[in-house]
Amino acid sequence: MRCSVDRILIVGLGLIGGSLAKALRERRYCRTVIGYDRNAEELEAGLALGVIDEAASDLVSAVSRADIVVLAVPVKATDAVLAEIRPALKPETLLTDVGSTKGNVVEAARAVFGELPPTFVPGHPIAGSEKSGVAAADAQLFERHKVILTLTETSSAKATLAIARMWQATGAEVLQMELARHDEVLAATSHLPHLLAFSLVDTLAAEAENTDIFRYAAGGFRDFTRIAASDPTMWHDICLANRDAILGQIDRFTAGVARLREAVAASDSQTMLGIFTRAKASRDHFTRILSSSAYSQKQHTGPVDFVLQPGGALAGQLRLPGDMSISHRAIMLGSLAEDVTEIEGFLESEDSLATLQAFRDMGVVIEGPHQGAVKIYGVGLGGLQPPPGPLYLGDSGTSMRLLAGVLAAQPFDTELTGGTGLSRRSMLSIVEPLQNMGARIETGPDGRPPLRIRGGQQLRGVEHDVSTASAQVKSALLLAGLYADGETRVREPVMTRDHTERMLRGFGWPVETTEGVTAIRAGGRLVGARIAVPGDISAAATFMVAAAIAPGSEILLEHVGINPTRRGVIDVLRLMGADIELHNETLVGAEPVADIQVRYRPLQGVEVPAGLLAAALDECPLLMVAAACAGGESRLSGLEARGARVLERIATTVGALQALGIEVELQHGQVRVRGGRIGGGALDCAGDARVALALSVAALRAEREIKIGGCGAVVASFPEFVALARRAGIRIRKEEG
């Protein structure tokens, strides 16, 4: 590796200073790593152990020769060291430190220098060990750990970049943070836990029978108290340096322990469960956000491709995961209801788990999910609490749109954020009608997230005409209408899925629906209920189309929701001649369900009426694949008024089918597909789960292998797909990057 810097001086060869020196030396980041320490034995050991290239006996002389000076001394010694080295610092010499408190370091520098030099860039590596001294130096100590730079008002961009690159050379991730915020955050995440560990061990050590306490301590005790073996002098200095922030965190922690003590003393199970479940969920939640991992443990967060071999037939019976739309709404209404709501069949997908976590963040006690079972201790319409920070919703547009309706009426401010995909979508379709109701909402550029919702607004009922049919817009306005003065009326050009209306009635809130208008009035209450979530018909549609196009197929799909606003795929396939039978039709709660049996029978091209297609918009890519396998020509009409996202999905499917050799075109809101031979090759689903599922089904009639890139959205929304597809007879494998 070509050396980037000539000389770096590390002042203080303790664990952090020694590890930094060793890491830079082993990676040959500079020509010479110079070490200085007031303890001559530590200095000699650093040289003997290969931690440094050169041992400096005179600090001032070493500083005068260095390009970068790193202060790795106790925080209380910072002012004295700065005063000593100031005369030798050249104007171009970069200066940084490793202290875990920054306010006192910057104040010490200000006292010594007067005006802070532009070459001064304070830093703090978030890494450590109970060991100390140069003998504990570890060249890998900073790998995959964070280093925080707390720039001063004078820190130059050039100096900042140079210090960042030095730390990056050790394998660290470099971040920037405002100085005061750094000390506040570290007081909570580092300083307080160390003090608790010291205090707990000290308290238990004073017990008369302390030998047995420590002898029989399990792993949890050892893990928690491990940091009590840290250097006492260092932590004494940190407490003095960051006193105010640490005291604030101790007070908050003490209040929390007092609440828990009261709950234990009163045998208050709900409060105890609330504290424990919120703590567990919050730890899991923030761990996933910070590591860019998933809510669902079934999800792989890297690139995912599907590879499918041609041919095959479906057989057997499948029980599909719970309906996503119903899962979202069950969490929302259960949280806003009074008393307990129990859910069975909850879909544990990224999107629905994002909704669940959002309500946990707002103080709702939620047990589970465990094998689809969720128990919600509702807080009532006025019981939500301000979340501790922005509500992160992954890539779930449903979560963001519906939550906007609820949060527009709350007394506290909230911010809704999301992942990369969600942050590209416009939210104006829901923001503007909510603003007409009196909500105060700010968006990012072009109406995209984040959404900043101002609390304390009194909403008023309005009559809103939805120009582009959207169940999410309708649902958000109905949820806002729970809090609004007067009546809220939503008029749709065509009827969209009505899960929200059905579930509101199931929770005891009257909803009127007449001639395309849905109306709701405030003033009621939601009462906890038992919700059985049926199988998702969109997931079932994948296997329905697969069996309908693959010769020799016969499959039974159990307990599938057949809501009239969602069953369009069944009606269109029957129109094309598919052999589909419904068995065991019944109502579960407010939702109709049935077992769906599909046998292969040759399909014929048809013209699908716009009204029929309205109940199958999400399944359009699948229906286009069915049309590609049918005799003659099929036409899907009335798509021009279905919104940009639907048209983008259709256009992606058109391009993929054309790449497979199918004659297909999209013009003036109409898709024309002529049945033909399906080839093979590499395809791109543009990150759209529904397109990926449709192309996976097409492989059953393909002549060659099909590889579909960008299928991570399927893993997020339908984690069980690959396993279910293989069980049914689709020759698929998942490749993960």
Residues forming the active site: 618
Q: Which residue stretches of 77-175 are H helix?
A: 78-85, 103-113, 157-168
Beta bridge partners of 181: none
CB 275, CB 218: distance < 8 Å: no
Question: Where are any strands of DSSP class E within 443-545?
Answer: 451-454, 463-465, 487-491, 512-514, 517-521, 530-532
CB atoms within 10 A of CB 236: 12
CA distance 513 to 306: 43
Beta-carbon count within 10 A of 104 CB: 20
Kindly write down the DSSP assignment for every residue of 688-715, as one continuous string: -HHHHHHHHHHGGGBSS-EEEE--HHHH
Q: Report the distance separating Cα 29 and Cα 70, nearest Å.
A: 14
At 622, is the secondary structure helix, strand, or coil? helix
Q: How far apart are CA 584 and CA 593, in angstroms?
A: 8
> Which residue stretches of 169-265 are H helix?
179-186, 192-205, 210-215, 219-225, 232-241, 243-265
Tokens 């949890």, residue located: 220
Number of H helices, E strands in the chain: 27, 32
Angle, helix 179-186 to helix 103-113, in steps of 10 degrees: 140
Geometric angle at alpha carbon 612, from 713 and 696, rounded to 5°: 30
Question: Taking the CB of residue 618, how many other CB atoms lie within 10 A of it?
Answer: 18
Q: In what order do the strands lie in the sheet with 365-370?
A: 365-370, 373-379, 338-344, 530-532
Instruction: Confirm if 446 and 436 have CB atoms less than 8 A apart.
Output: no
Helix-helix angle 350-361:397-407, to 10 degrees: 30
Closest CA relative to residue 535, chosen from 572, 498, 566: 566
CA dihedral 244, 248, 250, 255 (to 10 degrees): 160
For residue 57, give the nearest of 79, 42, 76 by alpha carbon. 42
Residue showing tokens 């395809």: 683
Exposure of 248 in the CB half-sphere (CA atoms within 13 A): 10
Query: How far is 435 from 441, CA to CA, in rounded Å?
Result: 7
> Residue 71 is inside which H or E element, if any?
strand 68-71
The continuous run of DSSP H or E covering 70 comes out as: strand 68-71
Angle at alpha carbon of residue 275, lines to 250 and 368, rounded to 5°: 145
Write out the H or E segment, with its range, that includes residue 174: strand 173-176
Indicate the helix (H) or strand (E) that contains 585: strand 579-588
User: Measured at the alpha carbon of residue 112, what is the angle toward residues 107 and 118, in degrees to the nearest 5?
Assistant: 80
Q: What's the one-letter identity of residue 76?
A: K
DSSP string, 1-51: ---SEEEEEEE--SHHHHHHHHHHHHTT-EEEEEEE-SSHHHHHHHHHTTS
Give the H/E segment covering residue 665.
Answer: strand 663-667
